Homo-oligomer: A and B are copies of this chain.
């Protein structure tokens, strides 16, 4: 088994943090996204969408999409449960994973890709107006998320889950996207400090 990894990019980080929380070690194959290696033959033949990470099993089977790769490991190694436990728990984790993915991770990514000069060759056409609109969407969601965190420790409840990983990676991605966490979001700040202090955050 090997994981084609994209270094500092947010999706590869999501999977590395997940694996660290599970205590699973998977051999990494570094792919230099700065040098556009994810558009090269090695990645393209495994993932025609030319995105990372890509997991290749020993029999050559390929899995892509960060959350799908995480789900694979959750099924193989259920503890600690990072996708929730019973029916309602699993649905609640999925709800918050998706809310954070679409309204924070997604909006921050759009802001970065459509505004940052380094993304000119990555996102064609770059549409600055759409990038700016996403900064506002991200801030709006952060205010909503802040209210939610008033009454609980983690994104989806009292346990750390994949929803926290998506949130952590999204918040850290705000820096290159030049989005500032509103001063008044004290609960998001407390939560971000807590998830950042876990050893997995360095993965």
Contact = CB atoms under 8 A, between A and B. Distances in A.
Interface of A: 48-49, 57, 61, 63-65, 67-69, 71-72, 75-76, 86-88, 90-92, 94-95, 98-99, 103, 125, 127, 129-130, 133, 144, 147
A129 B133 contact: no
B67 A90 contact: no
Given A90-B71, A91-B69, A94-B67, A133 B144 contact: no
Given A103-B49, A127-B129, A133-B127, A90 B65 contact: no
Nearest to A89: B75
Contacts of A130: 127, 129-130
A88 B65 contact: no
A72 B87 contact: yes
A142 to B, nearest CB: 13
19 contacts: A48-B144, A48-B147, A49-B99, A63-B88, A63-B91, A63-B92, A64-B95, A64-B99, A65-B98, A65-B99, A68-B91, A68-B94, A68-B98, A71-B90, A72-B90, A72-B91, A125-B133, A127-B127, A130-B130
Contacts of A129: 125, 127, 129-130
Given A95-B63, A130-B127, A88 B68 contact: no
Contacts of A90: 71-72, 75
